[in-house]
Structure 1
Amino acid sequence: MAVSPPALPDPEPAPSRRRLRTVVAVLWTAAALALILNLTGGRGGSFDAGGPPHAPPALPAVSTAPYTPPGASASPSAEGPRMSRSRPVRLVIPKIGVNAPFTDLAIGASGMLDPPPADDTNLVGWYARGHAPGEPGTAIIAGHVDTKTSPAVFAGLGELEKGDKFHVTRADGSRADFVVDDAESFRKDDFPSDRVYGDTPQAQVRLITCAGAYDRKARDYTENLVVFAHLV
């Protein structure tokens, strides 16, 4: 029986064919890289460049009625340091390099607190009809974690820990100094509104932004990060 000859190796491609293969390989690599950057926002995260900017959490209408924490008196009196009402001008958080101006936030037609403008990466908002930072009660400060193009003012908020300090400069020239009590993330479908938004007899602040995984279908993060702090 005749034995079949071994398969011959492919001849070396001509120079023009080698150049063509190189060009095609480069184009495929560039296309793959562009796709990865588009899906991650150019920074390796879960950002969807085609989605809306990631706003602070959708806040329900914040009541200014007194909130009594469990175990507290039904008629709480002002406790701890306090300041008179004055508009916040600037938020400074040295640990994470935040030095940002304020804008007023209001509750929109949906009944939720409108977020700060989406195109400004260094801007925080406060619920202007609620308590001002420094006066007795719970002041709400919200900021973006990122935008369509880059990380935003509260990108590093998750680094804050109990004992960290920050301050708010105010329109009357005073400065309200705060110390962090806690920082927690909550699922948006199980958000403890009373704990976060409920009024208190002390001068307290909540710093709020988005956190958790990015839900591409909903085009939103799955959690809210809340930093609890009090005036010192």
Structure 2
Amino acid sequence: MISAKNGRRRGFAVSAATALLILTACGAQTSPESTGTTTTPSSSASAPAPTSAPAPAPTAEASAASPAPTPDLPPVLEASIPVSFTIPTIDAGSDLLALGLRENGSLEVPPDGPGAPASWYNQSPTSGERGPSILLGHVNATDGGPGVFADLRALKPGDEINVIREDGSTAVFAVDRGEQYEKANFPTLEVYGNTDAAELRLITCDGYNPDTGEFDDNYVVYATLVL
């Protein structure tokens, strides 16, 4: 059993290792490995010293001013491992495996046979907690049939995704949008970075290249907790 402590962060630290956090295997026709890149912005240079007279010292009244208020964060659920999901509008759903990382830093993926379930990435927040909870699934199966995430492109903003959790509760998410990304330029921070709300990412392969028999892209559905 996986401890819920894996999901008690808003997200998780993005480092060089997480540049490999892309779905690299998608059924019978798939690239064995693919690597994204993460660019860390450099620090800003120090401002030059002023040439005019220094500004007067702040008054006692100004010094005592209260700091700007922190905006309230959206409500979220307590940690609980996701065990299954359903997407009624595309008649998709399965139990959820709990998988982590391979030794090379890329994501473990579910088995790719017919009827293979999706998986929850167990170093992301549990579905319903603050931050991006990551679900992975295949677009096709080894027999050429559809995978559990075959119809993600049919989802529209507002469509519901229901994630059933170990504590018996259901986290209901509404689709925000879907995006296709080249695996070689996967936006790690946008997909896996911290969020103020409880969010969900559904990730599968896309961009099948008939010349190579591989998928060059990933497709990512973004959704936000509504219940």
What's the TM-score, normalizing by structure 1?
0.66
Query: Within 5 A, what are the aligned runs for 1:30-45?
Result: none
CA deviation after TM superposition for structure 1 residue 187, in Å:
1.2
**1 CA distance for matches of 2:79 and 2:189?**
23
1:94 Cα deviation after fit: 0.4
Larger radius of gyration: 1
1:226 aligns with 2:220: yes
| Identity level (%) | 35
Give matches, 1:165-184, under 5 Å: 165-184=160-179
Determine the structure 1 residue equivalent to 2:190. 195
Task: State the match for 1:85 in structure 2.
Answer: 79
Q: Does 1:139 align with 2:133?
A: yes
Contact 2:82/2:126 (8 A) holds in 1: yes
Q: Following TM superposition, by how much is the alpha carbon of 1:173 offset from its aligned partner in structure 2, in angstroms?
A: 0.5
Q: Hey, which bits of structure 1, 4+ residues long, moved more than 6 A?
A: 53-60
SS for the counterpart of 1:195 is helix
For 2:155 and 2:32, the matched residues in 1 are separated by 20
Aligned length: 169
Contact 2:101 2:108 in 1 (8 A): yes
Residues 106 and 128, structure 1, Cα contact 8 Å, conserved in 2: yes
**Partners of 1:55 and 1:210 within 8 A in 2:** no
Amino acid in the other structure paired with 1:94: P
- Once the two structures are superposed, residues 92-122 of structure 1 have per-residue CA deviations (whole angstroms, 9 ceiling, x without a partner) of 0001111210001110111111101122524
- Corresponding residue of 1:109: 103
Runs of 5+ consecutive residues of structure 2 not aligned to the other structure: 1-26, 39-69
- Match in the other structure for 1:119: 113
CA distances 1:25-47 after superposition (whole Å, capped 9, x unpaired)? xxxxxxxxxxxxxxxxxxxxxxx
Is 2:102–2:108's contact at 8 Å kept on the other side of the alignment?
yes
Paired with 1:59 and 1:115, the residues of 2 have a C-alpha distance of: 20
Which residue does 1:12 correspond to in 2?
Answer: none
Over 3 Å counting, the alpha-carbon distance change for 1:214 and 1:108 in structure 2 is same
The residue that corresponds to 1:4 in the other structure is none
**Larger relative contact order (C-alpha < 8 A, sep ≥ 6)?**
2
In 1, Cα distance between equivalents of 2:113 and 2:199: 29
Please tell me whether the aligned partners of residues 165 and 179 of structure 1 are also in contact (alpha carbons under 8 angstroms).
yes
What TM-score do you get using the length of structure 2 for normalisation?
0.67
Separation in 1, partners of 2:32, 2:152: 14
* Structure 1 residues 131-181: Cα deviation after superposition (integer angstroms, max 9, x where no partner): 010001111100000121011100101101111111101110101000011
| Aligned mate of 1:204, from 182, 194, 199 | 199
Number of the residue aligned with 2:155:
160
Residues 109, 215 of structure 1: CA spacing in aligned structure 2 closer, same or farther, 3 A cutoff?
farther
Secondary structure of the corresponding residue to residue 212 of structure 1: strand
**Structure with greater helix share of residues:** 1
RMSD (CA atoms): 2.9
